[in-house]
Chains A and B, each alone.
Chain A
Amino acid sequence: MTVEKIRGENENSDNFPVGLRVLAVDDDPLCLKLLETLLKKCQYHVTITSQARMALKMLRENKDRFDLVISDVHMPDMDGFKLLELVGLEMDLPVIMLSANSDPKNVMKGVTHGACDYLVKPVRLEELRNIWQHVLRKKKPDSKIQNKSTDQVKANLGSGDGHGSPMTGNTDQNGKINRKRKDEDDESEDNGNESEDPGAQKKPRVVWSIELHRKFVGAVNQLGIEKAVPKRILDLMNVEGLTRENKYRLYLKRISQQANMVAALGVKDSHFMRIGSFDGLGDFRTLAGQGRHPNVALSPYTSGMLGRLNSPANVNLLNITPSPLIQPSYAQNSSNSITPLGKMQNPNLFQGIPSSLELDQLQQNKGPTGIVNFNAFDDSRIFTSNFTDPGTTVGSSSNLLNGTPNNPLSDGGFGNQPCNNMASFSSESFNAGINGTIESSKMQPNSLLSSEPFNNSLSDPYLRNNTIDIISSTTMALPIGDSREMQCQEGLVGDVRNMNQQRQNNYEHSSKSGFGSLNPRIPSNGVVGSMNQKMDMFVNGRLGGGGSTLMQHNENQNLLTESRARSNDSLFFEHQKMQGGFVPQSCDSLDDMVNAMIKREQDESIPSCDFGFDDYSFGQGTI
């Protein structure tokens, strides 16, 4: 894979389209080279890579570095459509799909996933000469277009036939709820939950659809964690009718839940938990509409939670508004959550928004939470708030990761984390979820919680059997500050290993088994072994592998369902929640979450994590 770094230009407008910065992704080296040469002929700046992951990394490093992305559909490490979605969500760049397959169904799929255009290989020079139009169209609604340059460009190109790119929808976006990156077609399709009529300002209720969430996440990412205040997020999202309250509250809930989870570790405040969890539940309910999990409201909840948690903004918010928000929602949520989960009853679980301290922790964890989603496989599973922030004390973040259905296992991972508190938290929750009987909710704050909770989980026969759990736990273990969600999983796995030494046999047993199972699954997961070190490593790709295994595993296991009931531990609940909603989905939801998580993490930690996580989701798709 060759990556050429091209000097990025920030000013393109005067020379447009010359100097257009294009990122080309294709696993076929021949095609890549061809593309590169062709694009250079058009006088564009080209950067090529054969790895989708690498492409994402580059894009995330600097969002302004590229104007356009051209990506192949069929790629080994990541599905082209997934990449397309991610890019669209996170960076709002025009993406052009490329494929040897001219099947209209695929073309349709490309368009609905937000592609600006779909080219069929072999690509001709004339076709490439027109791609600058997409960049222009995308920018237009944002009022960045200068007519002058447009004319110039047209003169330069002199190409009359453009692709019938479906950008017509863009202009209409202003009126409707803006789907930041979707095509118009997409928009109308996805607008099911939201009111599409711009005039109908009053929406009975803004359903926090995945779309919105995605946008939210994207907005947050764009703003950066620091500046991701609700107002700005709202503006960015440009969704009509969506009040900041709406999101913020949900967000807070989420955070609080997470915080709760974290808090649960140290403090089992019943009220806290509730809030956190409930909010999440409430949110999930709406999400439930998404049709994610049949299982329960929880599912949506968890997913919602996950999503929320993921975004760094969430975290921030969390700190800000701990309990007040949560409480009210708590009440409602609790009922919701409880029912689905049955377990949620433990108020302890969510420790309401933990004190700011905890919040901080949560924030840190934020990375991992995304991962938790994965665990969500089991609807019933408690989504352990994957908050596990990479560095944060919130060891629990690892828990979040654990959210993955398997979560129960994640406990193992925690031990390593400094946050231990957190770690234990997650592990407990996980275990609880899975086993249902999580007795271990011992969230001992600093103890290597992971070890303990893990033991609990381990003790459960179920846990042991679930290799995945272990894995999930490992991921959670991210104790390593970097515990990006993805990493978390990985870390968990790795941690499990490490922990094994520390832990008791059962732990080891489970973890090992986990690993064993994971390892085969995770292609590149050799990392697991190395988990000792930062989880980062894992995340990169390992997660994907692990993730998939986890997911699959979870499904098979249905641990979550069992664990649900138990939620004795607050943690448990929290985690579980995630699972239900989260997992059922196809990777899509996970992806979103992951993306969210990743994004967050990106800001903080290793970008690789993101990828790893992505892999996970992608893996799912491809599996």
Chain B
Amino acid sequence: MQRQLANMKQSLFDQLEELQDDANPNFVEEVVTLYYRDSARLVQNIDKALEKNPVDFVKLDSYMHQFKGSSSSIGAKKVKIECTQFREYCRVGNGEGCKKTFQQVKREYATLRKKLEAYFQFARQVGPVEKACRRK
């Protein structure tokens, strides 16, 4: 189980967990919740921006930069990779490419959320025992 969990997240996420301790018992959850909120908003903004015509690449890039930043902070490597790709398209002004890539971004993002959800459910079940075991 530990391994399963470990596989679900990347090393950064591990770090997040490291930060969670008695002083910050729900740190990971808080962080992830923050991420959800923030990223949901960004995804919305990006969607809207992509629908506009003509596409404002500067803004898009700015949104994506933020999105990428927070995703990487939380350890979402795959999402981050897609974001980088997206920004490349933005840079060259390829609207179609952006849209396609963004679909992928959203997909990865959805996967991430699912995994996180599962993780939390799991973690809650296991609870403190897991935490104790987790300490290496």
Contact = CB atoms under 8 A, between A and B. Distances in A.
Interface of A: 27-31, 33-34, 37-38, 40-41, 74, 99-101, 121-125
Nearest to B24: A37
Q: Which has the most chain A C-beta neighbours within 10 Å: B27, B30, B68, B70?
A: B70
A28 B31 contact: no
Interface in B1-32: 12, 15-16, 18-19, 23-24, 27, 30-31
A74 B65 contact: yes
Which 6 pairs show the lowest CB-CB distances between chains A and B?
Answer: A100-B69, A30-B70, A122-B73, A30-B34, A37-B19, A122-B72
B46 interface: no
Contact of A31 (B12, B19, B24, B69): B69
Contacts of B73: 28, 30-31, 34, 121-123
Nearest to A120: B72
B42 to A, nearest CB: 10
Contacts of B18: 125
A100 B65 contact: yes
B39 to A, nearest CB: 8
B38 interface: yes
Nearest to A124: B15
Contacts of B35: 30
Contacts of A99: 69
Contacts of B85: none
A41 B18 CA distance: 10
A464 to B, nearest CB: 33
A28 B66 contact: yes
A30 B36 CA distance: 10
Given A37-B19, A38-B19, A31 B27 contact: no
B61 to A, nearest CB: 10
B75 interface: yes
A365 B109 CA distance: 54
B50 interface: no
A99 B62 CA distance: 13
Contacts of A27: 66
Contact of A101 (B27, B31, B65, B70): B65
Contacts of A121: 69, 72-73
A54 B69 CA distance: 22
Interface of B: 12, 15-16, 18-19, 23-24, 27, 30-31, 34-35, 38, 62, 65-66, 68-70, 72-75
A103 to B, nearest CB: 11
Given A30-B35, A121-B69, 19 more contacts: A28-B69, A29-B38, A30-B31, A31-B70, A34-B16, A34-B19, A37-B19, A37-B24, A38-B19, A40-B23, A74-B62, A74-B69, A99-B69, A100-B65, A100-B68, A121-B73, A122-B12, A122-B74, A125-B15
Nearest to B75: A122
A125 B31 CA distance: 16
A28 B72 contact: no
B38 A30 contact: yes
Contacts of A124: 15
Contact of B72 (A41, A74, A100, A125): A100
Contacts of A37: 19, 24, 27
Contact of A33 (B12, B30, B62): B30
5 contacts: A34-B19, A40-B23, A74-B65, A74-B69, A100-B72
Nearest to A100: B69
B90 to A, nearest CB: 13
B66 to A, nearest CB: 6
Contacts of A28: 38, 66, 69-70, 73
A463 B74 CA distance: 53
B10 to A, nearest CB: 10
A28 B37 CA distance: 11
A33 B31 contact: yes
A403 B94 CA distance: 43
A79 to B, nearest CB: 12
A33 B34 CA distance: 9
Contact of A34 (B31, B62, B65, B68): B31
Contact of B74 (A30, A40, A74, A123): A30
Contacts of B23: 40
Contacts of A33: 30-31, 34
A241 B68 CA distance: 48
Contacts of B68: 100
A606 to B, nearest CB: 31
Nearest to A38: B19
A243 B16 CA distance: 54
A41 B66 CA distance: 25
A248 to B, nearest CB: 45
A29 B40 CA distance: 13
A100 B69 CA distance: 5
A1 to B, nearest CB: 13
Contacts of A100: 65, 68-69, 72
B34 A29 contact: yes
Contacts of B72: 100, 121-122
A123 B65 CA distance: 16
A175 B130 CA distance: 58
A97 to B, nearest CB: 13
Contacts of A31: 69-70, 73
A29 to B, nearest CB: 6
Contacts of B30: 33
Nearest to A74: B65
Q: Which has the most chain B C-beta neighbours within 10 Å: A30, A41, A74?
A: A30
B1 to A, nearest CB: 25
A30 B71 CA distance: 9
Nearest to A76: B62
Contacts of B15: 124-125
Nearest to A98: B69
A25 to B, nearest CB: 14
A468 B63 CA distance: 31
Q: Which has the most chain A C-beta neighbours within 10 Å: B19, B66, B73?
A: B73
Nearest to B80: A100
Contacts of B74: 30, 122
B106 to A, nearest CB: 19
A121 B71 CA distance: 10
Given A30-B31, A30-B34, A37-B27, A74 B19 contact: no
Nearest to B30: A33
